Structure 1
Amino acid sequence: MSELLVKPSGETGKVIDITPESAGWRYVGFALHRLSAAQGVSAVTGDREVCLVFVSGTGTVTAGGQNLGPLGGRESPFDGKPAAVYVPGNCNWSVMAETDLELAVCSAPALTGRAVRVIAPEAMSQEVRGKGTNTRYVTNILPETDGVADSLLVVEVITPGGHTSSYPPHKHDRDALPDESYLEETYYHRLNPHQGFAFQRVYTEDRTLDETLLIEDGVTTLVPKGYHPCAAIHGYDLYYLNVMAGPRRVWRFHNQPEHEWLLGG
């Protein structure tokens, strides 16, 4: 199996655990917990900031000594917007599942002292990107325009079956602002119906990295560098939760020049 593809380690508990050390990079961390009702998870952020994303289900959250109450509620990541919580560095947090719960823990370096913040679904902007069979639907959880975080950028995308996404191919692997920013990235994928599949290609201009990955329900792709388009197969919608972070909290990407013509007209 490709080192860029991380499959769940089991059915319950922490089933995905990606750290900067395991990924071989510096910034992005991603974990996924699958909990049954009355099961819980807790942690201390330390020198990391965290965004808790309720992929599905409901849980009661405590963070920084505050009881934030029950959050979440959607039945699947294809059913409306999520709820999320921003937790700064050096802060305790815990989640107790009230229903079956899929909880994503997105992390990156904490650089300043910030406050715990609930990011309610109604506070998240949505947008449609692309046209035709390149149309996809984006929910901004922690966008660049939101100054609540030090490093984290978090977004959800739904790509209908038969459509492409993260396309035309683009990359963000150079710290060369204002033209391009260096951002590591993870893609947590889900499919609807769950037995479907999709494809993702991760490749560099010189093809020293060039891998085409079979995307099945529940896997995570690592994007350390290069272009990284996705293709959803007819009949199966593709969801992914993106986590990005780098030396600066700015998303500036470079389109692959030979495919940039697709943006015109």
Structure 2
Amino acid sequence: MLSPLLVKPAPAGREIVNVSPERAGWTHVGFRALRLKPMESATVDTGTRELCLVVLTGTVDVTVDGISYMNLGSRKSVFEEVSPAAVYVPVGKTVTVGNVPGASTVAEVALCTAPGKGGSGTVSVIDSTAMRRSVRGKGSNTRYVCDILPHDDPRAAHLLVVEVITPAGNSSSYPPHKHDQETPPSETLLEEIYYHRLNPPQGFAFQRVYTDDRSLDETCAVEDHDVVMVPRGYHPVVAPHGYDLYYLNVMAGPNRFWVFKNDPVHEWMVDPQSSAFACSYRSA
């Protein structure tokens, strides 16, 4: 039986996956992934929600209320060491995204949404050359991060978007951490989507979502194009030997600030002063 947190993709057709707030049973995050064949397009209205459109692969043209942004995106694979093209769109806009004329390959785009703010927002192409790229962790916990729409980007109201590549054999979102309590400055509440890709695509990875009291404790075997919904709890990921893992994270909550809390029993990995480290050391 599939985990209730796991959303499987459609094997064919324009829409790969669609997770609305209603389907997820939460308030903020919405996510769609689309595959656009040559000359194919899709149109969406943002309504009361803000949108970050991420060009995962291929090249597309994006039109917002009649103004066009041409030839966005250059990646053939999400595993290239290149930041994606992305467009931020505020509330009350009509957006059309289409594979560029003359394209010979399918383009893949992500539509990441959250409640927006009223008034006259500004449509903007997010400069891929200015996206922060960083390395987190060390050893088998090393992963590579690209901040597409981080919490210190002032253009969004609630939405945060980031992509991560975890090399084969490595762990990610690790030590296990959570952000399900609105208790700043120690922790903030953010719902989260993981959109997974595997290289080679026939691979798989594992993601666990669990709370301290284990009232939620689900482990998902994720495959290419799968979505894992994280409504609360810790949510580590592991990529088996032989398969690199990419995921696109979409987060949103009542306030646009990312502060996480590590699982105390695993805090020793990053804080040698923790009581968990002392217990581990004494038992070694």
Q: Shared topology, TM-score over 0.5? A: yes
Shift of 1:33: 0.5
Q: 1:102 aligns with which of 103, 108, 116?
A: 108
> Does structure 2 retain, via aligned residues, the 8 Å contact 1:64–1:116?
no
Superposed displacement of residue 43, structure 1: 1.0
How far did 1:135 drift?
Answer: 0.5
Distance in 1 between the 2:241 and 2:144 partners?
Answer: 17
1:199 to 203, 206, 212: 206
**3-state DSSP of counterpart to 2:202:** coil
Query: Which residue does 2:88 correspond to in 1?
Result: 86
Q: Deviations over 1:120-163 (max 9, x none)?
A: 32021101000010000000000011111001000000000000
1:157 maps onto 2:158 in alignment: no
RMSD value, Cα: 1.0
User: How far 1:9 moved relative to its partner?
Assistant: 2.1
- Unpaired runs of 5+ residues, structure 2, are 273-284
Secondary structure at the counterpart of residue 213 of structure 2: coil
Return the alpha-carbon distance in structure 2 between the equivalents of residues 224 and 264 of structure 1: 26
- Partner of 1:181, secondary structure, is strand
Amino acid at match of 1:101: A
Aligned equivalents of 2:7 and 2:99: distance in 1? 24
Matches within 5 A, 1:246-257: 246-257=253-264
Q: How does 1:152-231 map to 2 (within 5 A)?
A: 152-231=159-238
TM-score (norm 1): 0.98
Where 1:195 maps in the other structure, the secondary structure is coil
Distance 1:9 1:196 in 2: 17
Aligned length: 265
Name the residue aligned to 2:275.
none
Greater strand share, structure number? 1
Q: How does 1:1-265 map to 2 (within 5 A)?
A: 1-79=2-80, 80-98=82-100, 99=103, 100-112=106-118, 113-264=120-271
Q: Is the 8 A contact 2:164 2:246 kept in 1?
A: yes
Between the aligned partners of 1:183 and 1:75, the Cα distance in structure 2 is 31
- Residue 264 of structure 1, CA deviation: 3.9
Query: Which segments of 5 or more consecutive residues in structure 1 lack a partner in the other structure?
Result: none
Question: SS of 1:168's equivalent?
Answer: coil
TM-score norm. by structure 2 comes to 0.91
1:185 maps to a residue whose letter is E
What's the % identity of the aligned pairs?
Answer: 54
* Counterpart contact for 2:29–2:252, Cα < 8 Å: yes
